[in-house]
Each structure stands twice: as C-alpha cells, then as structure tokens.
Structure 1
C-alpha cells in the first residue's frame, strides 16, 4: 500500500503577504512558523502599556529621525516563514508604506499570559536574526519588570524593575520603567 507524500503547507512571507492583503481591514494576522495566526484584541492593561511605550519611545526616536509604530510586521531574510507583529517597533527613516519592515532598531513585546511562551521563545529567536535590531524589550503586564535584550555584539539580557531607567543610547536617551507603567496599578 502506498503512503501519500506529505505536502508542506507552510506559507512563505511572499505568499502570506498576498494572502493577508486580501483579508478584511479589521483582522490582524501574523505569520508564525509558516502558519497565519489571527491576533485577538488586546486587553485594556496591555493597550495602556503599548500606548505608553509608543508615546515615550516616539518622543525619543523623533530626535534621531526615527518613529515608534504599533503594529508593524517584522521581516528577516534568515527566516522566510515568519512575519510577527510586535506591539511597538522603532524604525528610522520614512514610515513604511505597506506595514512591513526589515530594519527595526528596537522592538517591544508586551507579554500576555496567552502568548508568553511564544513571545519569549520562537519570536525572541526570530528577532535576533534581524541584523538592524539593537534592542528587544519584553515587558511584563502584571509587574514592573522589563527584560532588556541588547545586541552587544552578542545578545545580552538585563532585567529592569521599579525605579529603573532603561538606558537607550541607540535613541540618545532613556526610558523609565515608571513611564512604561504610567496610569496603571501594579
């Protein structure tokens, strides 16, 4: 008896982009290991942290000709089956026209209980393949704790807690942990 050959049904970024362009505007999808994954709406606490990050990072980034954007997909030539959408992306130069960037300077992920394993695992591995990425912030939701991953030249990790200012020489400034969690009770 012959066994049917198994077909690899994973999407590559080019297929995904074409597929995602045809989706309704109110749907948000990211590509993870070749599979489109629909993103559910974030809860209020998550949104507040994202808003704070965009506000303070954009103020820092603007002085360097950069901007902080929520919802940009990240691309890497090293992994053609990923197009994750982190919570905040700092990119220099003109804003991307199509919602994708392959040259982020900084990425911030706000960790949710439902995505914690993926965000701290495969996504972190993916982000490390992006040559332009200098800083990755993994921001915890329920405690004042930020994991600061920095390319220096190998990746290092520091943890920033209450009362700490995260030094961001890439943006000629710093971001206080208090600013990230402003207007929230921990």
Structure 2
C-alpha cells in the first residue's frame, strides 16, 4: 500500500472488477491517484519526500544497470498495472517494464520487477463513502 490510502465504498455491496475500476478511474481527474485492492477502490495521498527520494534512487540505480545489461527494459515510478483478470489494479512505487511503450500509455500488462517502498504510515486506512456511487 502507498503511504496513506482512503477506501471508497460505493452504495453497492459487491466489489469492483478490474474493468469497473478502470471505468471509474477514467472519470476521475488526472491528479487523483487510485488503486484497486481486493475489489475496493483506494485513493492514495502523496507520499512523503523521503519516500519519493527512496523511489527515485531505486529507479535511477535500476535504469543505470538496465542500460548496460538489458536496454529493452525500463525502470519507472508508479506504472499502472493490468496484470490479469483479478480485482487488484495497483501502482507500485517502482516497476521494471518493457522499454517499448506508447507516449500516452498509462498501464502495462507485464512487469519484470515491482518494488514498493514501505513507510511507517502504510497501516493507516481512512474509509469514506461515496453517496450514490459518484464523487
């Protein structure tokens, strides 16, 4: 989980599928960060500067090694993942993906490495409710 996440529970009792979540996410402003965890949409808060620095250092070190040993791969921060049919759509802090991507691409269906920086605040979850399923 990211440093702090806010759970969004819609008025229905079932959980979102990956496809339902992507449709929900498409209606949200670009500045909002969302992940689907076990069928529940979670809005994430910005990580701490220290968290970002660790992610940046890892990304830089990975890209340095990949440039020398696997130039067809790229380390990037917060790649959107569409891995399978489940009810998880996460954005890890750093991921190694294929370097061949489209300029407007947001999601990948394959990753070679995923890394999450663990923070002290990772256990803080603040539930909220969306009235009528809209925000």
Give the TM-score of the pair, scaled to structure 1: 0.54
Runs of 4+ deviating beyond 6 Å? none
Where relative contact order (Cα < 8 A, 6+ residues apart) is larger, the structure is 2
- Residue 93 of structure 2 is aligned to residue 87 of structure 1: yes
Match of 1:103 in 2: 110
State the Cα deviation string for residues 92-130 of structure 1 (Å, max 9, x = none): 241364322221111111001222699xxxxxxxxxxxx
3-state SS of the aligned residue for 2:35?
strand
In 2, distance between residues paired with 1:112 and 1:91?
24
Give the TM-score of the pair, scaled to structure 2: 0.73
The 5-angstrom pairing of residues 51-130 of structure 1 reads 51-63=56-68, 64=70, 65-77=72-84, 80-95=86-101, 97-115=104-122
In 1, distance between residues paired with 2:73 and 2:22?
25
In 2, distance between residues paired with 1:114 and 1:20?
24
RMSD of equivalent CA atoms: 2.1
Larger Rg: 1 or 2?
1
Q: How many residues align?
A: 111
Evaluate the alpha carbon distance shift between residue 41 and residue 107 of structure 1 in structure 2; reply closer, same or farther with a 3 A threshold. same
Find the partner of 1:20 among 14, 19, 25. Answer: 25
Higher percent of residues as strand:
1
